[in-house]
Structure 1
Amino acid sequence: MTAPVPMVELWRGGLLESTHTGHAVICDAGGGIVEAWGDPAAVIFPRSSCKMLQALPLLESGAADAAGLTQAQLALACASHQGAAIHTHAVTDWLAALGMGEADLRCGSHVPADTDERDRLILAHEAPCQIHNNCSGKHSGFLTLARHLKAGPEYVELDHPVQRAVKDAFEEVTAETSPGHGIDGCSAPNFATSVHGLARSMAFFAAAEDAGDARSRAAYRLTRAMAAFPEMVAGEGRACTELMRAMDHRVAIKTGAEAVFVAIIPARKMGIALKITDGGTRASEAAICALLVRLGVLDAAHPATQKRLNTVQRNWRGFETGILHTAPGFC
């Protein structure tokens, strides 16, 4: 097994203060490795970076079209959203159209990351509900599929038809038998795979065609939905949203908890997957920027890039204290 390699460094006062190590793979349309750092075979939980994989059965089954889902709703099915009004209203309307409501979700509640909505709840003396959960769009997709399959309400259970369909799609597109699963923050199973397997699946999405088979058409539609509606995938100020806008909606990217990041690049028919081993988000955001710049799809000078890569650190008085940049040998 190859050890993780240094990817991102923080320097202060001319000295190396912190190093983030990780694994990364770039795959071509055939699933072959174009470039790799660290161990391509390292097994990881993709966490929320694989939501487009979890959404494949929603489209392949015909459930999305039967429910009349829009492109924005398909993006929301792949989202880790902020819980802003744009997201909560969309989820509420989606559930209502299904004849369902917040109680049908199985994702749990948490305080929204969106400060406007958080403050509104505080001032109104209201508690956050499951619709504020960053995964409520994915769970609305699960509910849509469960209804289409005429399956039971406990759609996050491992043996439920929804999760069996998700696992089948996940293993087929990663081209690996998952060695196991964990339970994600939203209570759904999260299937493990290698960094190579995750990158291979992103390359499949990148090469998917609208004229292909049902799975290819589903992947094509999900990729375009994410890129077209980056505000639904994450939210204002978030890396996914800002970087997809910076790339003129030509690339779909998605973060996952514990510093996983993926990218789908249709113009190059390439997929990227990376994992920072210490779970540091600042490092995964810097690393994905570096890889996207390396492949020529992200401008290194764009403000959204500079916000995350080669970023000058400042203290509370505005004094420059250090810089965050890629480690030698990475990108």
Structure 2
Amino acid sequence: MTAPEILTEIWRGDILESVHTGHAVICDHKGDIVEAWGNPDHITYPRSSCKMIQALPLIESGAADAYGLNSEHLALACASHQGAAIHTDRVSKWLSGLDLGESDLRCGAQEPADIPARNALVKTDDSPCQYHNNCSGKHSGFLTWNKHMGHGADYHDPSHPLQVAIKEAFEDVTDENTPGYGIDGCSAPNFATSVAGLARSMAFFAGASEDGSAREKAALRLHRAMATHPELVAGETRACTELMRAMDHKVAIKTGADGVFTAIIPEKKLGVALKISDGATRASECTIAAILVKLGVLDPAHPATQKRLNAPILNWNKVNCGTIKAVDSLK
């Protein structure tokens, strides 16, 4: 099949109101496709769902150990955080330890998604800064690599040695030559791959062993850090945080803009990737929850699951008007 497949349905009352189509792939640690929906060869940008790949050079170069980074730092390096104090305080301290600061970041200022942080800015008539950017942890990892390796300040440039190293790692773990890149919201290049390639890369992380290669050891540290600190990877109320907690910190998952989601399942040595065609977050969250339930790693009765899978659609009076449902083929 080459066309996108319906993955999520939106019901209002007893009538199917709309649908979200897309592509999803489950791969094993050998790189083989276990199950797929839509077109596994569909080319997409992973967006933030591949931040753990972008963090591989941070560990492989020796930079992480040289500057004493712990699992919290590594989780932030893979994060799309909300700009809450638990994120910005840690990023600020991290950069200070490198004798760097907010002005060294290249991600841009962003209004925090965290409501208390946003309200604090309003109350003090202050402005958002780059620490609030959801990618400031990733960029702090970039700066750590850059400090260790001694390259130029514009680490986000596609021709910079860091981005060249990230491209090499990306093509290795996806087992594909990338057809190109786009510039992400944080100004760093985002390399394209097929949905199958993205799932294959997650399966590489899932099958990584302490007895494996240097890249495997780096992958193991990164996905364990994500699962250990889900609140740093995203934040309170977010799907990544709540679902990783619901899975007892045994699975690492990561959202990306425009309807992308990935999952690393070490106990089963499986990787998952999906792309919703219209970029809808409600559909990507519903679909990843359905696949995780299908694979037996997420309890369908857990409140965090029920917020996304077969989730009620409430109006402003909190009246239940409909349901966000996964299609039967995902169950």
TM-score w.r.t. structure 2 length? 0.99
**Which residues in structure 2 correspond to 1:211-226 (within 5 Å)?**
211-226=211-226
Residue identity matched to 1:232: L
Q: CA deviation at 1:142?
A: 0.3
Aligned to 1:93: 93
Q: CA deviation at 1:49?
A: 0.1
Q: CA deviation at 1:212?
A: 1.4
Residue identity matched to 1:326: A
Aligned to 2:30: 30
Residue identity matched to 1:158: P
Rounded to whole Å, the distance in 2 between the matches of 1:35 and 1:315 is 36
Q: CA deviation at 1:330?
A: 3.2
1:164-193 deviations in Å (ceiling 9; x for gaps):
000000001100000010000000000000
Aligned to 1:266: 266
Deviating beyond 4 angstroms after TM superposition, the runs of 4 or more aligned structure 1 residues are none
Aligned to 1:196: 196
Rounded to whole Å, the distance in 2 between the matches of 1:140 and 1:97 is 11
Residue identity matched to 1:190: N
Residue identity matched to 2:283: A
Aligned to 1:275: 275
Aligned to 1:312: 312
Aligned to 1:112: 112
Is 1:83 equivalent to 2:48 in the alignment?
Answer: no
Aligned to 1:8: 8
Residue identity matched to 2:238: R
Q: CA deviation at 1:110?
A: 1.0
Superposition RMSD on alpha carbons, in Å?
A: 0.7
Rounded to whole Å, the distance in 1 between the matches of 2:73 and 2:193 is 27
**Which residues in structure 2 correspond to 1:158-177 (within 5 Å)?**
158-177=158-177
Rounded to whole Å, the distance in 1 between the matches of 2:17 and 2:78 is 36
Gaps of at least 5 residues in structure 2 are none
Aligned to 2:49: 49
1:86-144 deviations in Å (ceiling 9; x for gaps):
00000000000000000000000110000001000111111000000000000000000
Say which SS state the counterpart of residue 323 (structure 1) adopts.
strand
Q: CA deviation at 1:329?
A: 2.8
Q: CA deviation at 1:298?
A: 0.1
Rounded to whole Å, the distance in 2 between the matches of 1:318 and 1:227 is 33
Q: CA deviation at 1:320?
A: 1.9
Residue identity matched to 1:5: E
Rounded to whole Å, the distance in 2 between the matches of 1:245 and 1:328 is 26
TM-score w.r.t. structure 1 length? 0.99
Q: CA deviation at 1:13?
A: 2.3
Rounded to whole Å, the distance in 2 between the matches of 1:199 and 1:226 is 17
Q: CA deviation at 1:328?
A: 3.3
Q: CA deviation at 1:312?
A: 1.5
Aligned to 1:208: 208
Residue pair 1:210, 1:221 contacting (<8 A) in 2 also: no
Residue identity matched to 2:126: E
Residue pair 2:207, 2:266 contacting (<8 A) in 1 also: yes
Residue identity matched to 1:318: K
Q: CA deviation at 1:45?
A: 0.2
Rounded to whole Å, the distance in 1 between the matches of 2:116 and 2:210 is 38
Rounded to whole Å, the distance in 2 between the matches of 1:124 and 1:12 is 42
Residue pair 2:41, 2:196 contacting (<8 A) in 1 also: yes
Residue pair 2:47, 2:256 contacting (<8 A) in 1 also: yes
Residue pair 1:6, 1:330 contacting (<8 A) in 2 also: no
**Which residues in structure 2 correspond to 1:276-315 (within 5 Å)?**
276-315=276-315
Rounded to whole Å, the distance in 2 between the matches of 1:153 and 1:38 is 42
Q: CA deviation at 1:326?
A: 1.0
Aligned to 2:67: 67
Q: CA deviation at 1:147?
A: 1.0
Residue identity matched to 2:92: T
Say which SS state the counterpart of residue 86 (structure 2) adopts.
helix
